[in-house]
Amino acid sequence: MHSIDIISTVLMAGGAFFMLTGALGLLRLPDFYTRLHATGKCDTLGEVLIIVGCMVYQGWSFITIKLFFLMLFIFIANPVATHAIMKAAYVTGVKPWKKGDERM
Amino acid sequence: MSKSEKAFSMVVTFCIMFVFCVLLSAWVSYHDSPGHFNLLHVCEGIIAALIVTVISHELLIPEKGEKVLLKTLRLIPYLGWELWQIALATFDVTYRVLHPKMPIDPRIIEFETTLRSDFALTTLANSITLTPGTITILVEPEKGKFVVHAIAQAPADALLVDQTMQRKVAHVYMEE
Amino acid sequence: MIETFLVIGMIIVFTMLLCLYRAALGPGVYNRIAATSVIGTKAVVLLVAIGYIFERPMFVDIALLYAMLNFIGTLLMAKYLVRGEVCTA
């Protein structure tokens, strides 16, 4: 195996591990606001790592430029969508969770 | 907008759009599917870039900007620091989720800043979302007030007491 | 190298099934919107991986388009839930 294959496999495995943690956080955390913390941060970085792994595997080609634009768009758009839906929940009146309450 | 500012913003936007077009279709040095650099493709690129420039030239270069070049040059090290912060943020969330006792203690905090312009407030709100442990909820542009949801006491202290991020953004946009 | 992409694709499909549990169960509408947005983001990565498995490089264009559609859909749902209507006409 070439060394480029090993580097890109390590990057993609790291990205898949972070995505798994993000989905696990959706199941485990007790409140809507804390669940958005897990998905908004872990999903973005996991996806950036997987796409960087694909870019490293491809070399210098036409598809690399398209993958770079996809990565830039995801990196900017995901936190904005997280903030928009958190603002909608706060203005409409969803109650936050304090330590010692039950799950909701 | 005065005429010279309008012409300047149109020219800069057209140049950026044309560079995108050439990069995506006409560059000759890709080694498995080389692009074509003849007259037909370059003309199509110019027409497409012109349409996009006429519709949306006011979004990229806003109206009253003094010393735009200096602010852009100061933005690049700030982006490097922010990429390091998002790596730290993901490790922090992974530790809190996978720990068997799940040490979280969420609270909502509010604070005020001295930044007033659109770009500075947007940069600070995006950076707060990408820092370990905090997400922006509300921004009020008149008084510069932020409402932030923090996941534990330690990241909330880093935002309220230390104020590192407000100082860095004020340095980039020259304390606006 | 094709086996690596196949394993990554299977892990992402398993992650989507975990998110589907929260989309079905979550009390209220906001949990469901967040889960759907997460499934959409993972679908973009799955499209890139499938493009490499079948050796057709055109799937990256479809992934770019779906990323934009997912972003606009989430913003539209947030705007509708705050105001009660999408555009004032």
Q: How large is the ipTM?
A: 0.88
Total structural domains in chain C? 1
Please indicate whether residue B50 or residue C13 has the higher confidence score (pLDDT). Answer: C13
How far A98 CA sits from the closest chain C CA (Å)?
18
Write out pLDDT tens, residues C3-48: 889 999 999 999 999 999 999 988 889 999 999 999 999 999 999 9
Classify each residue of C60-85 as buried b or exposed e, where b means 16 or more C-beta atoms within 10 Å of its C-beta: beebbeebeebbeebbebbeebeeee
In chain A, % helix, strand, coil (3-state, to 5) comes to 80, 0, 20
pLDDT score of B7: 78
State yes or no: pLDDT of C74 exceeds 90: yes
Residue of chain C minimizing CA distance to A51: C45
Please report whether residue A50 resides in a domain. Answer: yes
Q: Residues for chain A: how many in total?
A: 104
CB contact under 8 A, B93 and A21: yes
pLDDT value of position A1:
65
Assess contact for B45 and B21: CB atoms under 8 A.
Answer: yes
Give yes or no for a contact between C27 and C50, defined as CB atoms under 8 angstroms apart.
Answer: no
Task: Please indicate, yes or no, whether residues B92 and B152 belong to a single structural domain of this protein.
Answer: yes
Of A24, A63, A91, the CB nearest to C60: A63
Domain-located, residue C88: no
Asked whether the beta carbons of B164 and B127 are under 8 A apart, the reply is no
Q: Within a domain: residue C36?
A: yes
The answer on B124 and B79 residing in a single domain is yes
DSSP E strand stretches across B44-106: none
- Owning domain of residue B13: 3-56
Tell me how crowded residue A71 is: count the other CB atoms within 10 A of its CB.
18
**pLDDT value for B122:** 86
Whether the Cβ atoms of residue B142 and residue B93 lie closer than 8 Å to each other: no
Tens of pLDDT along C55-71? 887 899 899 999 999 99
Q: Do A29 and B97 touch (CB under 8 A)?
A: yes
Q: Do C67 and A23 touch (CB under 8 A)?
A: no
Domain count, chain A: 1
What integer pLDDT is reported at residue C70 of this predicted model? 95
Q: Is residue C70 part of a domain?
A: yes
Listed as own residue / partner, the contacts of C2-11 with beta carbons closer than 8 Å and 24 or more positions apart are: C2/C52, C2/C53, C4/A9, C4/A12, C5/C49, C5/C52, C5/C53, C6/C53, C8/A12, C8/A13, C8/A16, C8/A50, C8/C49, C9/C46, C9/C49, C9/C50, C9/C53, C11/A16, C11/A19, C11/A20
Q: Say if C45 falls within a structural domain.
A: yes
Specify if B14 maps to a domain: yes
Could you give the percent of chain B with pLDDT greater than 70? 85
Domain containing C24 equals 2-83
Highest mean pLDDT among B22-36, B45-59, B143-157, C26-40: C26-40
Q: Given an 8 Å threshold on Cβ–Cβ distance, is B24 in contact with A34? A: no
- Mark whether B33 and B112 lie in a shared domain: no
Q: Are residues B72 and B156 in the same domain?
A: yes
Q: Are the C-beta atoms of B113 and B146 separated by less than 8 Å?
A: yes
Residues B167 and B83 occupy one common structural domain: yes
Mean pLDDT across B95-100: 88
**Predicted confidence band at B176 (pLDDT cuts at 50, 70, 90)?**
low
Q: How many domains does chain B have?
A: 2
Q: From chain C, which residues contact A within 8 Å (Cβ)?
A: 1, 4, 8, 11-12, 15-16, 18-19, 21-22, 27-28, 30-31, 33-35, 37-38, 41-42, 44-45, 48-49, 52, 57, 60-61, 63-64, 67-68, 71, 74-75, 77-79, 81-82
Q: What is the pTM of this model?
A: 0.86
- Whether A50 and C42 lie within 8 Å, measured CB to CB: no
Q: Which residue of C has its CA nearest to A40?
A: C38
pLDDT at A96: 86
Say whether pLDDT at B34 is over 70: no
Same domain? B28 vs B72? no
Are residues B48 and B76 both part of a single domain?
no
| pLDDT over 80 (residue A89) | yes
A83 and B137: CB-CB below 8 Å?
yes
The Cα-based distances of C40 to A36, A78, B12 in angstroms read: 15, 11, 35
Q: Looking at this protein, which amino acid is placed at residue B134?
A: T
With contacts defined as CB-CB under 8 Å, which chain B residues touch A21? 93-94, 97-98
pLDDT at A80: 92
Contact A43 C41 (CB under 8 A): yes
pLDDT digits (tens, 9 = 90+) for A12-66: 999 999 999 999 988 888 889 999 989 999 999 999 999 999 999 988 877 888 8
> Can you give the pLDDT at residue C64?
92
Band of the pLDDT at B1, cuts 50, 70, 90? low
Indicate if the pLDDT at residue B155 is higher than 90: no
| B61, pLDDT greater than 80 | no
Query: pLDDT tens across B107-137, in order?
Result: 888 888 887 777 788 888 888 888 888 899 9
Is A97 within the bounds of a domain? no
d(CA A96, CA A33): 7
What mean pLDDT comes out for the span B40-65?
75
Supply the pLDDT for residue B35: 64
Chain B adjacent subunits, 3+ CB pairs under 8 A: A
Indicate the pLDDT class of residue B160, thresholds 50, 70 and 90.
confident
Count how many residues are written for chain B. 176
pLDDT at residue B53, rounded to an integer: 80
pLDDT at B31 (0 to 100) = 58
* Closest CB to B30 among A31, A37, A61: A61
Residue A36 belongs to domain spanning: 3-92
